[in-house]
Chain A
Amino acid sequence: MSPRFLPHDWFSEPLPANVEIGPRSWLYSTYAFRHYCSRRPLGVRIGHDTGVYSGTFFDLGPEGELEIGDYCTLVGGILSTAGRIAIGHHVLISHEVVIADCFAAVPPDASRARIPPADRTVIVGDNVWIGARAVVLGPAQIGEGAIIGAAAVVVDDVSPFTVVAGNPARIVGSVGP
Chain B
Amino acid sequence: MDEDFGPITGAWDYGSLPPNVVVGEGCWLERRDSFDRFRSHQQPGLVMGDRVRVYTWTTFNVEPSGVVTIGCDSVLVGAVLMCADRIAIGERVVVSYNVTIADSDFHPIDPDLRRQDAVANSPAGDRSRRPPLVTRPVVIEDDVWIGIGAIVLKGVRIGRGARIGPGAVATRDVPPHTTVSGNPARECPPGEGLP
Contact = CB atoms under 8 A, between A and B. Distances in A.
> What is the size category of the interface that chain B forms with chain A?
20 to 34
Contact of A133 (B1, B98, B183): B98
B148 A111 contact: no
B145 interface: yes
B148 A34 contact: no
> Would you call the interface of chain A mostly helix, strand, loop, or mixed?
loop
Nearest to B55: A107
Contacts of A103: 96, 145, 147-148, 163, 165-166, 194-195
Nearest to B4: A12
Contacts of A153: 149, 165-167
Interface residues of A, number: 30
B96 A167 contact: no
A107 B30 CA distance: 12
B178 to A, nearest CB: 14
Nearest to B195: A137
Among A103, A111, A153, chain B packs the most CB atoms within 10 A around the CB of: A103
Interface string B176-195: 00000111000000000011
Interface in A31-54: 31, 34-35
Given A12-B1, A110-B75, A98 B148 contact: yes
Contacts of A112: 75, 94
Interface of A: 11-13, 31, 34-35, 78, 80, 96, 98, 100, 102-107, 110-112, 133, 135, 137-139, 151, 153, 155, 167-168
